[in-house]
Amino acid sequence: MKTFDFAHADTIDDAVRRGAGGGRYYAGGTNLLDLMKLGVETPLTLVDIGRLDLKSITVTTAGGVLIGAGASNSAVANHRHIRREYPMLAQAILSGATTQIRNMATVGGNLMQRTRCPYFMDTSFTQCNKRIAGSGCAARSGFNREHALFGASTACVAVHPSDMAVALAALDARVHVQGPDGRRAIAITDFFVLPGDHPDRDNVVRAGELITGVELPPSPYATHSWYLKVRDRHSYAFALVSVAAGIHLVDGKIAAAAVALGGVAARPWRVATAERQLIGASPTEGVFGAAADELIAGAEPLAQNGFKIRLARNGVVRALRQATDTLDR
């Protein structure tokens, strides 16, 4: 690990000032510190934001909830209001990593974590456009079993590893940031970016901007939602495919629906036409299957990950089935 300067920020303005000068924000360090040890990330300065008042979880006047970016994953997953009103978020967080890591990892850090593509994580591989611009993408012709089905490019086929982000996408979250140019709120659907010709960019956060919180609107899916994670082993493994599914039933019909896929793209993957296909229908296996088919219609598999298409389809059907208490069989 290369040497670096370390500074404690006393206020958000102080943190932004230091971050605008080239510093990287440090909270739990569960991803950034690993990347620094591997030589993937080499920041000159770390700005510790652990002392900032960013850990609260509060109900908003609109009936939603504002989660501080410094709140630990464990605090969010075990919060009574989150478990009652946003159960898919609690399920998603608890499916990730270990208890010890969840106790340290923060909401902001979870959103800012980087891909676990082995060609990115191991600096002995010289072909990784995300690390070295213009060097190529070794995964396209190498090991790509865990890589993207959607939204990839010739420059990069990596996926975003977050479980939490998939649930936040289904819940229409907004990410609050503060930077040198002031404050702004970013829809979670606009927060992550596809690789295109610039795979080094994972999201739209600008230099010096600090995530201060994540806001969720009131959810219609409190009683009918599910987070499904399919992985090679039961614990401490990233998703091959994950599904955050929520439906709102009125008189036995689906009045609203949200389905987001994880482990298949550089951002959580939602398809509006697939969700609209569910509206007004009865929650049946056939209806769920048709929506799943629409959701995966644009998949572009690589040499080794074609099995993830069927995995995604079956996962969507299963997650919707689990989210529904009354299912015609």
The tally of CA atoms less than 13 A away on the side-chain side of residue 26 is 23
Q: Is 76 helix (H, G, I), strand (E, B) or coil?
A: helix
d(CA 185, CA 84): 25
If one counts every other C-beta atom within 10 angstroms of the C-beta of residue 119, the result is 28
The tally of CA atoms less than 13 A away on the side-chain side of residue 106 is 27
d(CA 105, CA 27): 8
Q: In what order do the strands lie in the sheet with 174-179?
A: 57-59, 65-68, 210-216, 174-179, 182-187
pLDDT < 50: residue spans in the chain: 326-329
* pLDDT value of residue 234: 86
The beta-strand segments (E) located in the chain are 5-8, 24-26, 45-48, 57-59, 65-68, 174-179, 182-187, 210-216, 225-230, 241-250, 253-262
Report CA torsion sign: 195, 30, 232, 171: negative
Domains of the chain, with CATH numbers? 1-49 (3.30.43.10), 225-323 (3.30.390.50)
In angstroms, the Cα distances linking 114 to 130, 183, 310 are 10, 24, 26
Quick one: angle between helices 285-295 and 307-323, nearest 10? 140
The tally of CA atoms less than 13 A away on the side-chain side of residue 211 is 31
Contact 148, 268 (CB under 8 A): no
* pLDDT value of residue 236: 84
CB within 8 Å of 329: residues ≥ 6 apart: 285
Structure tokens at 103: 């106790």
Contact 209, 299 (CB under 8 A): no
The pairing of beta strand 45-48 with beta strand 24-26: parallel
